[in-house]
Structure 1
């Protein structure tokens, strides 16, 4: 039996090998970690008998699809952040998909109007605050992060990272480029150190006393609590859910999402898999495994996620975030945020 006979590949295999898979299989390119995808693919195979082969990529997903062209074995891409989904669509490596099931299950704000991509979970970008050094209620808005009272007390990852650019894009939507630039400069002035590491590294810095608050995605708390070493860091912080200080403003959210590739050879099976991801069963599995929020109405987040606090999502659409991304990148460069 070949390696592709298993329901999920634990590591990225040569793409020529993936191309030899049976027509009844679904081939997925994913940036998401194997342990987060396996429960979904196994449940789908159990329910339908269709095998799922996943190639796990660290970077270059869109570039890989462009290079492979019509010969690509991939049927589906599964990735995070509206920017990465939009990148794939703009590169012409996906195709529109619209079915009654998808339109019924996924609210309009969580999918492309033309069906080029579909959200499957959401995550909030919130504040991790030191339980010892930051009183509850001290951070209530994103605007407040630029207040000089936080000077030398904030840690973040690179301002050019897609998660940070997403938040900055939302700021542009609410306040315009000029105010966003001033906010970025104020945030930079309040940094305790040069931006570095991922979101978990910022929580570690809080634990080490290097800073008092940081920006991070909610699901990282779940990942840290599941790790013996990182649980110590997680236990020192609290999740605060800031909002934009504007009418209708809420906590910034982004998505993990899925799209059908332009070169899909197993389209019928791929559509079944994508629709499965929007079922209540799959939403519960995915949200539990990822410590994220389901997008399908009527599906609850896990008890762990609900214990962090109530989420009031921002009213900025994902399309607006994508449209403002160029301005967000430009403004981040202009203030030399990472310098």
Structure 2
């Protein structure tokens, strides 16, 4: 089994303990991967030899916390024999730890959400250029850092979600239109501290400038049905409860709710619709999850193998059928739900600009009164 390690705990451990916990092959759970067959029956021995040999480890510092990621790591282990050790934490915690530990860092891959955060990791010096023709073949140039310090793993659209019983799609058009008086008391969204909202605002600054974006943000605040609270799922639930008519949400939450084990979440998702705004203007806001190669990766070859696997056609189909994000590999087939949503125009901006404009976006949100 893979080792699952929380970054906050490991902060207080020495490097020697980390190495022992992550890469040791004697005893513990790692022992079950050994190829020895003492005492085994002939059939058991044959089964053991059919499995891939142990081929070392790859240490993944990840800020993603989706079950499908863990399932992919397990599948990768089965196919390659490479043990995947997950070190989990917030992106900021993981980047700071990689900076602090420098050359002694055990990080091989860094995985996180948001183009701005990936740019922050690059600017912090904790990543190195990737050299992999397979990876570049899997991921189009528009989904890669210009210096190849990171590549996208998946993309997610931040859209307008509406209550089907109270709003018709033809009443919707653009993000900008949500600031108009007709939506007063009918809009909900997450708080201004939420990274997804900050990146949305950062994209508007890039496309429309600060003045127009601030005017829009003030209009949205004036139209809020309640003060921002909760996550994207809570915005969907506010629509179902009649608190608001429209919400700003990421599409993958709708997909996850529709396939939830919680019957109430399914019911909520069945009663909301997804609308891709700005199709006649600047396009729908698209953000990414991404993978970076750690600056001091000690298992570089294994790290690249995992990145190549996760961005392969098969890996992308497994990932997006579990997370309901959009694949970045054009060869991957979309989940049925995403096919039903259809194709849509997206913003034409560099994902790094989400990070470049983050400070301005945060200050703008504060000035606008977006709590």
What is the TM-score normalised by the length of structure 1? 0.92
Alpha-carbon contact 1:142-1:245 (below 8 Å) kept = no
Query: How far, CA to CA, are the matches of 1:160 and 1:71 in structure 2?
Result: 33
Runs of 4+ in 1 over 4 A off after TM superposition: 10-14
- RMSD between superposed Cα atoms in Å: 1.9
Query: How far, CA to CA, are the matches of 2:99 and 2:9 in structure 1?
Result: 16
Shift of 1:8: 5.2
Shift of 1:108: 1.2
1:17-67 deviation line (CA, Å, top 9, x unaligned): 542233810011112225121221122222221111112224622222223
Shift of 1:135: 1.3
Query: How far, CA to CA, are the matches of 2:357 and 2:280 in structure 1?
Result: 19
SS in 1 for 2:162: strand
- Is the radius of gyration larger for structure 1 or structure 2? 2
Query: How far, CA to CA, are the matches of 2:284 and 2:108 in structure 1?
Result: 33
CA distance 1:12–1:320, change in 2 (3 Å): closer
Gapped runs of 5+ residues in structure 2?
A: 25-55
- Which position in structure 1 is the counterpart of 2:40? none
Shift of 1:14: 4.4
Query: How far, CA to CA, are the matches of 1:109 and 1:270 in structure 2?
Result: 22
Match of 1:179 among 198, 212, 216: 212
SS in 2 for 1:299: coil
Question: For structure 1, which segment, 10-19 or 138-147, has the greater mean C-alpha deviation from structure 2 after superposition?
Answer: 10-19
1:69-118 deviation line (CA, Å, top 9, x unaligned): 32222211111111221221122211121322222221111110111111
- Which position in structure 2 is the counterpart of 1:233? 268
Determine if the alignment matches structure 1 residue 9 to structure 2 residue 4.
yes
- Which position in structure 2 is the counterpart of 1:3? none
1:290-338 deviation line (CA, Å, top 9, x unaligned): 1011101121221122223433222222133333223222211221211
Query: How far, CA to CA, are the matches of 2:172 and 2:254 in structure 1?
Result: 18
CA distance 1:19–1:311, change in 2 (3 Å): farther
Shift of 1:207: 1.0
CA distance 1:336–1:266, change in 2 (3 Å): same
Match of 2:83 among 41, 45, 51: 51
Match of 2:295 among 259, 262, 271: 262
Gapped runs of 5+ residues in structure 1?
A: 1-5
Determine if the alignment matches structure 1 residue 19 to structure 2 residue 19.
yes
Query: How far, CA to CA, are the matches of 1:88 and 1:224 in structure 2?
Result: 31
Query: How far, CA to CA, are the matches of 1:265 and 1:163 in structure 2?
Result: 32
SS in 2 for 1:197: coil
SS in 2 for 1:54: strand
Query: How far, CA to CA, are the matches of 1:47 and 1:275 in structure 2?
Result: 13
Determine if the alignment matches structure 1 residue 188 to structure 2 residue 183.
no
Determine if the alignment matches structure 1 residue 197 to structure 2 residue 192.
no
Query: How far, CA to CA, are the matches of 1:205 and 1:302 in structure 2?
Result: 27
Question: For structure 1, which segment, 141-150 or 51-60, has the greater mean C-alpha deviation from structure 2 after superposition?
Answer: 51-60
Alpha-carbon contact 1:111-1:118 (below 8 Å) kept = yes
CA distance 1:278–1:154, change in 2 (3 Å): same
Q: How many residues align?
A: 331
Question: For structure 1, which segment, 122-131 or 300-309, has the greater mean C-alpha deviation from structure 2 after superposition?
Answer: 300-309
Match of 1:143 among 150, 165, 176: 176
CA distance 1:37–1:18, change in 2 (3 Å): farther
Q: How does 1:310-325 map to 2 (within 5 A)?
A: 310-325=343-358
Shift of 1:191: 0.5
What is the TM-score normalised by the length of structure 2? 0.84
Shift of 1:171: 1.1
CA distance 1:143–1:244, change in 2 (3 Å): farther
